[in-house]
Structure 1
């Protein structure tokens, strides 16, 4: 009788544990809360699964929750991580904080935006493009126009030690090799490129007419178009033989020893769905879907019509750490 009672109690606990596993999920988020929160609420409404979200603060943007995941490695509190680019995903993968998960919704996403062993998958991307003042006499067509004499003193770029400009620089070093990338940056310096504090400030300097062009994230450019600033968008390096533009997808990943693995997988499936990509395309962040056929605003081009830079994000993660001393010295000169 005692054995039967203990068995009954254990079954109840097992049932409750399984129920809790599917009724809530904890996600750490580096994407801006103003854009990510509506997506997570849509998931809650669709599935009935409660989402506990922990967001990066502006002060620790893109590194705060990543560092928390590293600190919690032996006692994970998160089930899922939504990063706003692939570099942090690669850092976590190398530290054995992620476990592979191949979502059925990943099948429609191009291979270059997925980790080959399914440790992370990309979705809803920003691209690096030019915002150009409409009064500019000459329009740049390539990132390497920053170094051409005819554009001397006309271009501005965000501080390369921070944010997506750092990622873009690391991509160029990966693509060109150290010697060629450094030569390009030295030519930029000699060409009097201006340095702004951020992509947003770069876009504002172009909108005001102080500079003719800037390399920024697509959301910075689209927001100025929505504000009716006198600017246009140029997608760089799209010709035959050119590098293509740098793409920065969001990434989502499953945490090792997640407490709610079934709910976590459902959330990952939702984030990788065309439904989520449409939400983010029409939000103010104006992110470009990676699935084909998703509706997008008229101000954006679909990813299938763009020539994309071929990048190994794992190599880029290593390169970004390696080039920091050089970028600091370049900036201080």
Structure 2
């Protein structure tokens, strides 16, 4: 009898030791898997903390994960959300999905790229760019502003991702903030009337330009860089260099309220905001733009926007885009 009691105690003790040592963190990320997975795998290797990751779907991008986080608010499954943009992050804050955490690297980033109470921190940005097929047109052929793509000479020659999702939705909302509601709505209707080709995601716009199906596509710097690195006959253009400028979009990282693994979540956030990770994202295939204080300037004119105000335009923007570009 004593023998079995002792054996049972040994088994229970062993089980508790295994459970205590098996640290893990659950992260949802809308960053393309080809860019985010190597970072998360390195974190796992460096720390010994098991990473359970859920990645985005290209067509719905951030929206699907944001809706999932809102739906799980009462019983959160994720510890950390690594978002490829900032507007849906602000939406999550309004939905009371986030909890504040000021990383050890929080002060490294300018005020523009972080929440003052520590609910989210921005790092490693991308820019909204044009990708052109250099065998079809040259940079000198482009108009001075993206607003000119409604002109007849560009009919059927431009492609854009469906503007209800991802960075395209943010870009439209930023136009609402910068040029006003009336001009933005006229611009969107003009694009539709000019047969802009609307597709599922920025990587699709890139591929259509690479294939020569259209000469110009709206995309992000990371998607454009993939084509450039492959040696495809394309060129990346930062638009509106003499006007409103190019939209800069930071990655954002945040802690989920009620996270099941808050301590490992904090470790992952610190890791993502570290200089080493931002440098890896800059030098990697995605060629992201470092945002911490003291970083080199991006080399283009950035659009001056208030991300919180832009977030306020997301709903009316989405409603109009759904009406105009309904498929």
- Please indicate, yes or no, whether the TM-score normalized by the shorter chain is above 0.5: yes
Q: Report if aligned partners of 2:206, 2:224 keep a CA contact under 8 Å in 1.
A: yes
Query: Match of 1:129?
Result: 129
Q: Which region of structure 1 is more displaced relative to structure 2, 139-148 or 164-173?
A: 139-148
1:189-233 deviation digits (Å, cap 9, x = unpaired)? 444433344322322332233432222111221111122222111
- Relative to structure 1, the CA distance from residue 33 to residue 232 in structure 2 (aligned partners, 3 Å threshold; closer, same or farther) is closer
Query: Match of 1:144?
Result: 147
- Separation (CA, whole Å) in 1 of partners of 2:64 and 2:214: 34
Structure 2 matches for 1:55-74, cutoff 5 A? 55-57=55-57, 61-74=61-74
The unaligned stretches of length 5 or more in structure 2 are 1-12
Report the RMSD for the aligned CA atoms in angstroms: 2.9
Structure 2 matches for 1:13-162, cutoff 5 A? 20=20, 23-57=23-57, 61-134=61-134, 135-136=136-137, 138-162=141-165
Q: Report if aligned partners of 1:131, 1:216 keep a CA contact under 8 Å in 2.
A: yes
- Separation (CA, whole Å) in 2 of partners of 1:179 and 1:193: 20
Q: Which region of structure 1 is more displaced relative to structure 2, 215-224 or 190-199?
A: 190-199
Structure 2 matches for 1:148-297, cutoff 5 A? 148-239=151-242, 242-291=243-292
- Separation (CA, whole Å) in 2 of partners of 1:193 and 1:58: 20
State the shift of 1:312 in Å: 2.6
1:226-257 deviation digits (Å, cap 9, x = unpaired)? 22222111111222xx2221122221101223
- Separation (CA, whole Å) in 2 of partners of 1:322 and 1:102: 32
- Separation (CA, whole Å) in 2 of partners of 1:200 and 1:34: 12
Q: Report if aligned partners of 2:60, 2:166 keep a CA contact under 8 Å in 1.
A: no
SS at match of 1:104: coil
- Separation (CA, whole Å) in 1 of partners of 2:64 and 2:208: 29
1:280-330 deviation digits (Å, cap 9, x = unpaired)? 233333322223677xxxxxxx65423222223233233222222321232
The unaligned stretches of length 5 or more in structure 1 are 1-12, 295-301
Q: Report if aligned partners of 1:21, 1:262 keep a CA contact under 8 Å in 2.
A: no
- Relative to structure 1, the CA distance from residue 277 to residue 186 in structure 2 (aligned partners, 3 Å threshold; closer, same or farther) is same
Relative to the length of structure 2, the TM-score reads 0.82
State the shift of 1:130 in Å: 0.9
SS at match of 1:96: coil
- Relative to structure 1, the CA distance from residue 97 to residue 195 in structure 2 (aligned partners, 3 Å threshold; closer, same or farther) is closer
SS at match of 2:52: strand
Structure 2 matches for 1:306-321, cutoff 5 A? 306-321=300-315
Aligned length: 309
- Separation (CA, whole Å) in 1 of partners of 2:252 and 2:263: 19
State the shift of 1:152 in Å: 4.3
- Relative to structure 1, the CA distance from residue 255 to residue 158 in structure 2 (aligned partners, 3 Å threshold; closer, same or farther) is closer
Q: Report if aligned partners of 1:159, 1:197 keep a CA contact under 8 Å in 2.
A: yes
Q: Report if aligned partners of 1:141, 1:235 keep a CA contact under 8 Å in 2.
A: no
1:90-146 deviation digits (Å, cap 9, x = unpaired)? 121112121112223132323222123221111122211011122415124422231
